[in-house]
Amino acid sequence: MTATRRLAAILAADVAGYSRLIEADEEGTLLRLRVLRAETIDPKVAGHRGRIVKTTGDGLLVEFASVVDALRCAAELQADLAEENAALSPDRRIEYRIGINMGDIVVEDGDIFGDGVNVAARLEGLAEPGGICVSARVREDTAGKLDLVFEDKGEQALKNIARPVRAYRVMTADGPAPVRASSGLPLPDKPSIAVLPFQNLSGDPEQEYFADGMVEEIITALSRIRWLFVIARNSSFTYKGQAADVKQVGRELGVRYVLEGSVRKAGGRVRITAQLIEAASGAHLWADRFDGALEDIFDLQDKVASSVAGVIEPALQAAETARSAHRPTSDLSAYDLYLRALAMSPTPQAFQLLEAAIARDPDYGPALALAASWCMNLVSDGSAPDRDVNRKKGIDFARGALTVAGNDPGVLADAAFALACFGEDIDAMTALVDRALAFNPNYARGWHASSF
């Protein structure tokens, strides 16, 4: 059969925690999935004029001629599933993640292929259990046509997709989507905090990277306090660009405290304002303003972190921050270049910024480790035309990072992970990752590297 092209709305879905459900009750889970398909999913898709292209054990791919039909079907489906799950304990709920994209597809022998399909599958991976994640094209084509609102998740670098894709989380107009029916995460047995993205009050959208960099540094400083459980940046930044309800944040991330604030950078001066809120009650525990010269930015970050620590647990050692703090560079221009690169996806321009930062400070560990990680990604996904060149550069960056890493968990873990993927001694690299986690048990990327 000859392949043809057409524009279509693509819905990709799979079951969150499928392996866990199968392990706990294989026969029961498979039976429940068959019933869901027959009684809920298939009729819903047919009712919105969709075509189920194919199914897997835990997922399905659906084509719609209308993007409005696709999103309406997804929203109604998630609402129905949330209602069915409400009476079940969290460990027995079957919750789908759904991604929707509008794009060009190739149709051959009834199957569909192409970037339009691949983007939908990657967006599904960004969705929460019971959630819907869509591309900017879907948001534009459905805006005002459905009783839904969209929360901007920002530009996303999707695996095997050349260009960054702007993604949006779908919510009902009345508040959080019904997909959030599952109960909140349990609180850990020690003080826990999420640092939300700070507002950029500089009046210049291009300074957004600087505000995000401040939050990254504050998270890092707080993470060095061993008695404090700190949510990773990737989780807290899902709330970027929205007016977050701290009570909802506390439930969804499983934290007792939320830190929010703003950054204003003008000329050679910086102002950081921050406020600490108890998530369960919404009560403000502390607020302060920190002013200083740009040259003092690292001290300002530490003051925010140690002040927060002091309010959360006065009896414990807030001085831990000062003892553990390790400033990776004293060159503010190198630091600014690094922050600019950190705010971007791995692109030639981002690499140029990192290389410029490293040229200014050849011992800048975080920049070296990030450059090594990006080289490793280019080599591993096969997208780089000159793999050998990138491999050699990545190894050089990683080895340089390890020589200056000291006790910095981020540099240790990221550089070791890159070298392991480049074929270095796995046992030695695992030991370095273990060392990083010993220094900072809160380091999410370290745990990812260890599990990998």
Domains held by the chain: number: 3
CATH of residue 298's domain is 3.40.50.10610
Per-residue pLDDT reduced to its tens digit, 295-321: 777 777 777 776 666 566 443 344 334
Query: Is residue 139 predicted with pLDDT exceeding 80?
Result: yes
Residues 358 and 433 in one domain: yes
**Average of per-residue pLDDT values in the chain:** 81
Query: Would you state the pLDDT for residue 8?
Result: 92
- DSSP result, 162-216: SS-EEEEEEEETTBS-GGGGSPPPPPPSS-EEEEPPPEE-SS-GGGHHHHHHHHH
Residues 341 and 306 in one domain: no
Region 199-220: what's the mean pLDDT? 81
Residues 262 and 132 in one domain: no
- Is residue 187 assigned to a domain? no
Domain stop point among 270, 298, 324 = 324
3-state secondary structure 333-356: HHHHHHHHHHCCCCCHHHHHHHHH
Q: Is 365 exposed, middle or buried (0-12, 13-18, 19+ CB in 10 A)?
A: buried
Q: Which two tokens stand for residue 328?
A: 């990776």
Residues 363 and 393 in one domain: yes
**Cα separation, 305 vs 299, whole angstroms:** 10
Residue of higher predicted confidence among 329 and 431: 431
Domain range enclosing 240: 192-324
- Is residue 26 assigned to a domain? yes
Per-residue pLDDT reduced to its tens digit, 227-255: 678 888 878 888 887 777 888 888 888 88
Residues 306 and 379 in one domain: no
- DSSP result, 379-408: HHTT--S-HHHHHHHHHHHHHHHHHH-TT-
Residues 274 and 156 in one domain: no
Name which of 364, 408, 214, 233 is nearest 301 in CA terms. 214
Residue 56's pLDDT band, with cuts at 50, 70 and 90, is: confident
Residue of higher predicted confidence among 317 and 106: 106
Query: Would you state the pLDDT for residue 45?
Result: 93
Residue of higher predicted confidence among 369 and 159: 369
Residues 320 and 337 in one domain: no
CATH of residue 422's domain is 1.25.40.10
